[in-house]
Structure 1
Amino acid sequence: MSRTGARALYLAVGLAGFAPLAGWADSAAPSRFAQSDDEKSLSDVQLLGKRIFEDTNLSEPRGLACQACHQPQHAFQGVNGSPIPGIAAGSTPDKIGHRKSPTLMYKTYSPAFGFYKDLDDGKETLEAKGGQMWDGRASDMVEQATLPMLDPAEMNNPSIEAVVEKVKAGPYADLVRTVYGDDAFADPKAAMSKLTAAIFAYEVTERFAPFSSKFDDYLRGKAKLTPAEARGFELFTDPKRGNCIACHVGRTDSKDPTDWIFTDFTYDALGAPRNAAIPANADASTFDLGLCKQPGLAAKLPKEIKLESLCGAFKVPTLRNVAVAGAYYHNAVFTSLRDAVAIYATRDTDPGRWFPRLKSGEADKFNDLPGGYKANVNTDEVPYDRHPGQRPRLSDQDIDALVAFLGTLTDKGMQ
């Protein structure tokens, strides 16, 4: 499916039931409520979404906005002052998350969560795809916006009603009524759906998907890659070397940037090392199992797929702006992009480089999964299909080239 097609699918499925946003993609008049140059191009509903996104009153205690963990200048990522790279703090300093704060950029291209038919070596298979958050627990971005507001480790509101009441008593309540009518707050649950739909309207603006990187200019014929970058791109797309494109997909026959979102929206178990800095990991019996712990997943699981087979799998992220991400993998275990690339090459040829040693001297490979689920880790695809002592698919020079190429995916203005 093309990226444009995936986005169309998302909009068709992900916005089902959200009539207040009908026509949001049309050329709407700029809002008269705009207060800065940055807001002059936004329609009323988009501006409302921005107001909610930036509102520091929508947490308990007050002081934490969505933007604190998704800062525009950092590719809509952030940690709200947390001392752990990539892992955000919540509404109080004692509340620290256990997963990396993902970028919000290019998220609207993801389809709604579901099990989709795909072809694998000519055979039709069912594969988990789409949704939002690392485990797909939010089917779409409208649902996603609600979850952090109610999460005790994040914005910590006790209920939907509490969030709506804060907006109703806040400085942009008139904008809500302008967008949704005088009775916008009459039903708190309906009001919450409308408020999160407004956030979605903001998130589909160009600032969340500007396609302004050097790579985009290269596709358009307006820039040239350096020799190192070009070598990295070659390795990225080579199915026998880097094979990054197998999951971080793009259409090699297309010069349209929207065909290069650098994710297939699926879920993969990579066996990343355990991040000892995460407070929850102090308990050796605690494991983040990812997709298989998505609430309600068992009830919608196709009969062909066993729930246990999904443990350890997390959503494949976009690689756009990856060079400024600051931390990598679902548990933010790496702060170096080079390490995040290098482990692909030597995870299986030299596991002692990445995993702690057991008393026996062997590497405790895939130590962030309990023993029964380590078999779920992807060890078949290139470049993982190696064994201790074998030559990695990628050399140190290859890794440097891949890192150089990934640097071309940073949008203008991102740090």
Structure 2
Amino acid sequence: MTTTTGTGLTEQLSATTLLRFATAGSVDDGKSTLVGRLLHDSKSILTDQLEAVEAASLKRGQEAPDLALLTDGLRAEREQGITIDVAYRYFATTRRRFILADTPGHVQYTRNMVTGASTAELAVVLVDARNGVVEQTRRHAAVAALLRVPHVVLAVNKMDLVEYAEPVFAAIAEEFTAYAASLGVPEITAIPISALAGDNVVEPSANMDWYGGPTVLEHLETVPVSHDLASCKARFPVQYVIRPQTAEHPDYRGYAGQIASGALRVGEAVTVLPSGRTSTISGIDALGEAVDIAWAPQSVTVTLADDLDISRGDLIAPSGSAPRTTQDVEATVCHVADQPLTVGQRVLLKHTTRTVKAIVKEIPSRLTLDDLSQHPDPGQLVANDIGRVKVRTAEPLALDAYRDSRRTGSFLLIDPADGTTLAAGMAGDSFAAEAVKTVADDEGWDF
């Protein structure tokens, strides 16, 4: 059996670091151009892709390639010159691998930003240096805080249009940092850029010698990505039960799936939820090899010392840190469907690999991101609304609080009639309860 030491594990994780990040900002702030510049200047696009962009740019009467077209792939987006969907791109440098999501800037596409930023470890919020912090900027900062994105970059774009003036950048950075900090965003980095000209995107700008910080790409390559397994509670949702029933292994029973968080170790006492039965990990198979330890996000097969009744949707966790089970779920949700979510509505709730029947018992409040005010008892949530819900499930769920785990603290509400995703939920403590109270205290609002 292969043994992996703590030092060896850290080295393996560091060698394969992946950063998921999302871009957000108001319409025409230059999000797609920034992403295109990142791809172009880091030599992460193919020749035929660049040729296609050059051809599309010429058809639109532009002499230089419009790098925004590298992400604005939909025909409607190209015709309108705006981003209306989440465009995902994958690229890598010698220091790190990246998955980026270029999200829409329109108010009516807030749900798309939630989708793009839900798995992001960093959010790049763009601001037009001529306009400064606007309402949509605050909205995107609030969504980043709601989704508990650990790192936020403020990219003050179009500095070339304000003569690369340091006071302009400093004033915007101070205003945004104060606002984002009040929402509980843990880390904020401000960078002055010109995505069109390439200043401080990949290469340092010769026009802003007063700025001594990193470029956007340098920050993306060096920002810490949390792999501190000691602070992560292990969670293993069972996806499939393997029963080969061969002559060589007549009693083999393995539980396959992807580790959602933390690490599993052979010999560790575990609890299976929601049944609450306990056992010990007798073996872990990763890529066909027996190992002593496996960690998120590896896909593995786990065997237990005891013959337990376990099926898809069950959760295996260390006995000392197993989550509680509940049928009463209180959460913040972002409604993503065109049809409304109403009190009394019957839905399906999908949590990790488990899907159960549920009913919406109450919608206590709806959050207005414009001013972070709470509107009690709205009766329903419509597309792009963010609000609090109370849901009763037909079977117990092993939910973590979203603040503790973005993987096992999140869920989906689904229409049982046609499978449409209705809302994305974050269980436990809400951003609304924390951030709104903070801003209210600071500004003297009375709810």
Normalising to structure 1: TM-score of the pair? 0.26
Bigger strand fraction: 2
> Who wins on radius of gyration, i.e. which is larger?
2
TM-score, normalised via structure 2 length: 0.25
